[in-house]
């Protein structure tokens, strides 16, 4: 038995050496991107700041260049940094970089259905349906603008009840923003105190935050560890609760579905589902799993990123009162006391620049969602094989020193020319770019302008008594999205 064991050990050793030699030959036969040295099992995990992985990757780009390879656990990844590289991949080679790899935490939550984690034909079908239906329910049109301005009135009236005393804006901003996507999905709005609504907001915020935690990064690298990780269990519990709510909601709509009177996104999906079933379509796309995935994606994306951007907006206005004052002066000059509309944006270059700079500075989704290559390709001279796991690092684009005069400062002049006119910047990519650009970009831009101008028309935001602007901390809490540290503000009526 000792001889057999020794022979088996020797054979395994020889096999391992042959595998490594073959891998090295394959690597040397193509000009693969460079990267930091890995160690067995962990790869580069031991070198990574798990709380701010995008910062580690930006530092590595200074050593290995704008395209490099890393390994987290057993998952090899190609990281793309800087505007030129990310643009070349996502825009110039849009189809090649449009796939989505399997991400264990998302696979467990929605099984690859919906929009964000879907790929291939399922993703194309769901994206086409989503964009068409969002437009049908007013995205980019006057109808949804009316809903947003109405919600702005609810929000400002709620803020008035605090009578200039300190309060935390987190919940009411999330509720106000969420009501816009809820209106599209469900055809209704919730009161800010509604218990069901508050619960949905809580679990959504919690899930988004935990999805970018060190624990979940470990799970994505070693999925078999899930049973040991509390955040993973919490996400799965939250997702189950959200999906049960969605199921209950669309079953209710299904009971009185009228094909000739579709009132919201869910009903439109159910009508398509019914039509597909009548055609006896096999392997169709309009099934309940895709509906749950879509509503899950849209509710989370339509709430978290825009609400977080507005939280950053209020914090930055307190931090830079001179900028807040200039915005208010432009509002007074161009709008006066009437309620702001999107038509006013063209006359308000400084306000527009401030909103864009808030988005750039806040860097809401620093690491982006990963992409995958649909075929072998070459990028900037490096070979990237089909099926590669690719991270187009948005943070590196929004802070690219070759594109921004003061990349790490809050500087609205990034978006203004010498005459004070608004200037578009190609490196402004908070919504990503290419085929996977955020489906709700148009809606988010409208919301940010209308909420921001309504708030600053009505209030001046100040730190609580005893807190100076210098005390305000701009260090982000980074999960999957970047959120500001908890703070309180005083909304003083103008």
Q: Which of 60-64, 231-235, 368-372, 475-479 has the lowest mean pLDDT?
A: 475-479
Alpha-helical regions (H) of 320-440: 321-334, 349-362, 394-398
Is the pLDDT at 17 greater than 60? The verdict is: no
Check if the beta carbon of residue 324 is closer than 8 Å to that of residue 491: no
Residue 479: predicted pLDDT? 80
> What pLDDT, in 10s, does the model give residues 29-53?
579 999 999 999 999 999 999 889 9
Nearest CA to 192 out of 165, 206, 214, 172 is that of 172
Task: Report the C-alpha gap between 206 and 240 in whole angstroms.
Answer: 14
Q: Is 438 annotated as a binding residue?
A: yes
Check if the beta carbon of residue 193 is closer than 8 Å to that of residue 158: no
Exposure letters 328-364 (e unless 16+ CB within 10 A, then b): bebbeebbeeebbbbebbeebbbbbbbbbbbbbbbbb
Is the pLDDT at 15 greater than 70? The verdict is: no
Give SS3 for 377.
strand
Task: Report the C-alpha gap between 190 and 195 in whole angstroms.
Answer: 10
Q: Which of 18-27, 371-380, 421-430 has the lowest mean pLDDT?
A: 18-27
Share of the chain above pLDDT 90, in %: 77
Residue 259 binned pLDDT confidence (cut-offs 50, 70, 90): confident
Ordered domains of the chain (ranges, CATH): 3-493 (1.10.630.10)
Check if the beta carbon of residue 170 is closer than 8 Å to that of residue 314: no
> What pLDDT, in 10s, does the model give residues 276-309?
877 765 568 999 999 999 999 999 999 999 999 9
């Amino acid at each position: 038995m000792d001889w057999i064991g020794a022979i088996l050990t020797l054979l395994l050793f020889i096999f391992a050496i042959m595998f490594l030699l073959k891998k090295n030959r394959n690597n040397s036969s193509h000009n693969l991107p460079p990267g930091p040295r890995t160690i067995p099992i962990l790869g580069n995990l031991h070198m990574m700041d798990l709380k701010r992985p995008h910062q580690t990757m930006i530092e590595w780009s200074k050593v290995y260049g704008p395209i490099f390879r890393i390994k987290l656990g057993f998952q090899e990844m190609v990281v793309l940094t800087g505007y030129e590289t990310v643009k070349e991949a996502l825009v110039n080679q849009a189809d090649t970089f449009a796939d989505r790899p399997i991400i264990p935490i998302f696979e467990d939550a929605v099984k690859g259905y919906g929009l964000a984690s879907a790929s291939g034909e399922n993703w194309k079908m769901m994206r086409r349906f989503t964009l068409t239906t969002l437009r049908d329910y007013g995205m980019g049109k006057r109808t949804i603008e009316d809903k947003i301005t109405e919600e702005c009135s609810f929000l400002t009236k709620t803020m008035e009840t605090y009578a200039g005393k300190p309060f935390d804006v987190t919940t009411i901003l999330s509720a106000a923003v969420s009501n816009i996507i809820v209106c599209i999905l469900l055809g209704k709005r919730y009161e800010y105190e509604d218990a069901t609504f508050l619960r949905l907001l809580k679990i959504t915020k919690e899930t988004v935050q935990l999805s970018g935690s060190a624990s979940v990064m470990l799970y994505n690298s070693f999925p078999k560890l899930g049973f040991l990780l509390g955040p993973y269990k919490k996400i799965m519990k939250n997702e189950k609760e959200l999906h049960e709510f969605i199921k209950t909601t669309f079953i209710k709509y299904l009971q009185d579905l009228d094909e000739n009177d579709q009132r919201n996104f869910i009903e439109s999906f159910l009508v398509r589902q019914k039509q597909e079933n009548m055609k006896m379509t096999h392997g169709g796309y309009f099934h309940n799993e895709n509906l749950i995935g879509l509503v899950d994606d849209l509710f989370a994306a339509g709430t978290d990123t825009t609400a977080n951007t507005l939280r950053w907006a209020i914090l930055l206005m307190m931090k830079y009162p001179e900028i807040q004052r200039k915005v208010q002066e432009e509002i007074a000059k161009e709008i006066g006391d009437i309620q702001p509309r999107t038509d006013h944006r063209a006359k308000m270059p400084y306000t527009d620049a401030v909103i864009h700079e808030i988005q750039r500075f806040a860097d809401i989704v620093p690491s982006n969602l990963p992409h995958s290559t649909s075929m072998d390709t070459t990028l900037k001279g490096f070979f990237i094989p089909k099926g590669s796991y690719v991270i187009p690092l948005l943070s590196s684009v929004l802070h690219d020193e070759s594109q921004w005069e003061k990349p790490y400062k809050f500087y609205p002049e990034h978006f203004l020319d010498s005459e004070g006119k608004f200037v578009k910047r190609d490196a402004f990519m908070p919504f990503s770019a290419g085929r996977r650009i955020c489906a709700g970009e148009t809606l988010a831009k409208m919301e940010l302008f209308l909420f921001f101008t309504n708030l600053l028309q009505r209030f001046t935001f100040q730190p609580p008594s005893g807190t100076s602007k210098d005390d305000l901390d701009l260090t982000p809490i980074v999960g999957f999205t970047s959120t500001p540290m908890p703070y309180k503000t005083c909304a003083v009526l103008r």
